[in-house]
């Protein structure tokens, strides 16, 4: 065998075809190619859109940094970053991992690999169009729902194609039992397109909004439920697959996962109004939201208990497996998010932190701390295993992990402190917003510096996955267990 030179290796996995050159079109119907292509795209977007995020944070420190350039003006760059990480990095990454998990759990290949790859291409074009339109100031001016109407429709079609592919795979599956990850993926794909259409008021093309203050009620139903019914649902589903697969341990409790799944759908849908606790909107909606937010302890604690009990006796494996390290860290950040969240949704605490930088810290704790870490771990699991290659550089991946973790902690803690300073400043002193801004400036600088560490983590992942795909060492030794575990 010539594996020592790393050029040719026997195909170990179905569909692995390195021994002859494929045409580009042919490569689009290879098993798992869509999963990989989605993950490559997502990784590209996390590097790019996190860099855009760094631009927004730099504009807090020096507002004249890009002064006078319209497409780099803060109010245009911010939605590029938010929509980019939400709908390009996390969403594309999730779909990529779904396209790997679902065939695995169904015992059959994906229903249509070619359709999945077409979805991937359309999704990337959508992403470019989204960034360009936002830069040009074309927006519907509602947070997370900025995309203009044609792009809304386009995105719903992308979700529809994804859902069709996955549901057809499920309908023709060989394995009769539905594993817990599959429920979560089903939930995510049933809920998210509906939430997206309602939240974007998609039947009202010129505005994408209702008239009057009911519009805010709808907007924040949507704003919170892309998190609750898509990012949480998908991320939890991925963690439920990855952790048992890597540790080779069955999930601790079927009952706990059932309780977690149904209460997630029930309680998360209620909570949107907690963004509007001091607005002139109906009080009963605020009560529903606060109660729903506190009830979220049920799905969260069942999930956390289930994961930690599954990890019982397996904790040493986080030193052996880079993906597991990322995912477990993500789960811990998820726990912190979901302890913070219910407290923030109570009137008394919300009064202090609403409108402050605390909220930015919390939002990043969920989307960056929890779900980006889970997804990065999943990327490092799926790419090597479907290519039959080892991770190009485990050291780089470790470096990425620590840059991300330390960068994130610095980012998060400085924003939380800044938020408390702002809240206290507004509530207890007679000073204007401007005065309070000078008080939090050191923390905003610390935020930008630690943000830069995380951005470098994204670029490292892009480089590492690219090198894994092109120059990763082929797995030839008969150690499938270690490989399955995302091991080294």
Partner 1 sequence: MRMTLGSAVVGAAIVVFSVIFVVVAMPVLVFHPTPSDIAEPYTAAQLRGRQVYEANGCFYCHSQYIRPQDWNQPGVTDSNGRVAQSGDFAYQQPTMLGQHRNGPDLSEEGGVHPDDWQYAHFFNPRFVNPKSIMPQFSFLWTTDSAGNVTPTQDLKDLVAYVQNLGGKLADERYAEQVSQKALFANAIGAQANPNVPGDVSGQFSDTNQKALLSVVPQKFWTLLDPVPPDQRSLIDGKTIYVTNCIGCHGVQGNGEGPASQFFLNPYAYNFTNAKNMTSGLSTSPGSLYEHILYGIKGTAMQPFGQDLTVQNIWDLTNFLYTIPNGGLTAAEPTMDMFIQWRPSTELNQLSNAPLVSPGQGSAQISTQPPIAYRQPNQAWH
Q: Which is nearer to partner 1, 190 or 469 (CB)?
A: 190
Restricting to residues 228-287, name those near partner 1 by CB under 8 A. 229, 258, 262, 265-266, 269-270, 272-273, 275-276, 278-282, 285
- Total residues contacting partner 1 (rule CB under 8 A)? 87
**Stretches 91-99, 124-132, 213-221, 318-326: which one binds partner 1 (CB under 8 A)?**
213-221
Query: Within 10 A of 60 (CB to CB), how many other CB atoms are there?
Result: 18
Report in angstroms the alpha-carbon separations of 67 from 36, 53, 72, 139, 292. 39, 17, 8, 21, 43
Min dist CB 43 to partner 1, Å, is 27
**Stretches 15-23, 180-188, 366-374, 465-473: which one binds partner 1 (CB under 8 A)?**
180-188
Min dist CB 308 to partner 1, Å, is 23
- Cβ atoms of 221 and 273 within 8 Å: the answer is yes
- Please identify which residue in 17, 18, 118, 138 interacts with partner 1, judged by CB under 8 A: 138
Distance CA(71)–CA(78), nearest Å, equals 11
With b for 16 or more beta-carbon neighbours within 10 A and e for fewer, the 196-227 pattern comes to bbebbbbeeeeebbeeeeeebbbbbbbbbbbb
23 interacts with partner 1 by CB under 8 A = no
- Give the CB-side neighbour count of residue 48, counting CA atoms within 13 A: 17
Q: Which is nearer to partner 1, 279 or 314 (CB)?
A: 279
- Cβ atoms of 72 and 55 within 8 Å: the answer is yes
Min dist CB 60 to partner 1, Å, is 6
Min dist CB 471 to partner 1, Å, is 41
- Cβ atoms of 119 and 176 within 8 Å: the answer is no
Distance CA(95)–CA(79), nearest Å, equals 22
Write the CB contacts of 139 (distance below 8 Å, at least 6 apart in sequence). 76, 79, 133, 146, 147, 148
Strand partners, 389: 474
- Biggest alpha carbon–alpha carbon distance for the chain: 77
User: Does residue 474 sit in helix, strand or coil?
Assistant: strand
Q: Which is nearer to partner 1, 32 or 356 (CB)?
A: 356
What angle in degrees, to the nearest 10, is found between the helix axes of 180-199 and 91-106? 140
- Please identify which residue in 4, 20, 212, 319 interacts with partner 1, judged by CB under 8 A: 212
Which among 158, 151, 161 is positioned nearest to 208, based on CA atoms? 151
Restricting to residues 51-70, name those near partner 1 by CB under 8 A. 59-60, 63-64, 67-70
Q: Which is nearer to partner 1, 317 or 364 (CB)?
A: 364
Q: Which is nearer to partner 1, 142 or 317 (CB)?
A: 142
**Stretches 2-10, 35-43, 134-142, 409-417: which one binds partner 1 (CB under 8 A)?**
134-142
Distance CA(363)–CA(358), nearest Å, equals 9
477 interacts with partner 1 by CB under 8 A = no
Taken in order 330, 331, 334, 336, the sign of the CA dihedral is negative
Distance CA(151)–CA(147), nearest Å, equals 6
Restricting to residues 73-132, name those near partner 1 by CB under 8 A. 73-76, 78-79
Q: Which is nearer to partner 1, 228 or 330 (CB)?
A: 228
182 interacts with partner 1 by CB under 8 A = yes
Restricting to residues 415-474, name those near partner 1 by CB under 8 A. 422, 425-427, 429-438
164 interacts with partner 1 by CB under 8 A = no
**Stretches 10-18, 189-197, 312-320, 328-336: which one binds partner 1 (CB under 8 A)?**
189-197
Token pair 């631009």 in the structure block, residue: 55
Distance CA(211)–CA(207), nearest Å, equals 9
Min dist CB 47 to partner 1, Å, is 23
410 interacts with partner 1 by CB under 8 A = no
Q: Which is nearer to partner 1, 16 or 220 (CB)?
A: 220
Restricting to residues 369-408, name those near partner 1 by CB under 8 A. none
484 interacts with partner 1 by CB under 8 A = no
Q: Which is nearer to partner 1, 2 or 429 (CB)?
A: 429
341 interacts with partner 1 by CB under 8 A = no
- Please identify which residue in 137, 150, 160, 480 interacts with partner 1, judged by CB under 8 A: 137
**Stretches 91-99, 352-360, 392-400, 409-417: which one binds partner 1 (CB under 8 A)?**
352-360
- Cβ atoms of 338 and 300 within 8 Å: the answer is yes
Q: Which is nearer to partner 1, 273 or 405 (CB)?
A: 273
């Amino acid at each position: 065998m010539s594996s020592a030179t790393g050029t040719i290796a026997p195909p170990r996995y179905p569909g692995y075809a390195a021994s002859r050159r494929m045409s580009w079109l042919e490569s689009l119907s290879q098993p798992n190619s869509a999963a990989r292509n989605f993950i490559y795209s997502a990784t590209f977007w996390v590097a790019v859109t996190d860099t855009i995020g760094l631009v927004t944070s730099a504009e807090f420190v020096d507002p004249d940094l890009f002064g006078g350039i319209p497409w780099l003006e803060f109010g245009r760059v911010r939605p590029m970053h938010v929509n980019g990480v939400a709908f390009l990095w996390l969403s594309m990454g999730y779909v990529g991992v779904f396209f790997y998990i679902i065939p695995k759990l169904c015992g059959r290949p994906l229903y249509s690999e070619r359709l999945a790859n077409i979805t991937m291409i359309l999704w990337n074009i959508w992403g470019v169009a989204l960034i360009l339109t936002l830069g040009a100031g074309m927006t519907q001016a509602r947070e997370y729902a900025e995309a203009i109407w044609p792009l809304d429709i386009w995105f719903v079609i992308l979700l529809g194609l994804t859902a069709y592919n996955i549901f057809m795979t499920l309908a023709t599956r060989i394995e009769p039992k539905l594993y817990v990850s599959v429920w979560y993926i089903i939930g995510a794909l049933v809920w998210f397109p509906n939430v997206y259409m309602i939240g974007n008021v998609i039947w009202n093309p010129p505005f994408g909004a209702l008239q009057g203050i009911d519009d805010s009620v709808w907007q924040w139903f949507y704003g919170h439920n892309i998190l609750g019914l898509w990012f949480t649902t998908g991320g939890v589903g991925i963690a439920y697959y990855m952790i048992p697969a890597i540790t080779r341990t069955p999930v601790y409790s079927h009952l706990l996962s059932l309780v977690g799944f149904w209460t997630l759908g029930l309680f998360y849908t209620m909570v949107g109004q907690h963004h509007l606790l001091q607005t002139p909107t109906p009080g009963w909606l605020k009560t529903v939201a606060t109660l729903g937010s506190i009830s979220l302890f049920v799905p969260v604690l069942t999930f956390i208990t289930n994961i930690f009990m599954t990890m019982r006796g397996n904790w040493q494996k986080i030193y052996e497996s880079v993906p597991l390290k990322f995912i477990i860290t993500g789960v811990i950040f998820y726990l912190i998010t979901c302890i913070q969240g219910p407290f923030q949704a109570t009137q008394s605490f919300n009064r202090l932190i609403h409108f402050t930088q605390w909220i930015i810290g919390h939002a990043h704790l969920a989307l960056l701390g929890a779900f980006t870490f889970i997804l990065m771990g999943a990327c490092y699991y799926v790419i090597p295993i479907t290519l039959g290659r080892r991770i190009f550089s485990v050291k780089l991946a470790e470096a990425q992990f620590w840059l991300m973790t330390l960068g994130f902690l610095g980012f998060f803690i400085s924003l939380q402190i800044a938020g408390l300073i702002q809240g206290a400043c507004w509530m207890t002193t007679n000073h204007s917003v401007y005065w309070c801004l000078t008080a939090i400036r050191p923390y905003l600088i610390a935020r930008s510096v630690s943000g830069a560490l995380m951005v470098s983590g994204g670029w490292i992942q892009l480089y590492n996955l690219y090198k894994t795909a092109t120059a990763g060492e082929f797995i030839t030794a008969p150690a499938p267990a270690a490989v399955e575990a995302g091991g080294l």
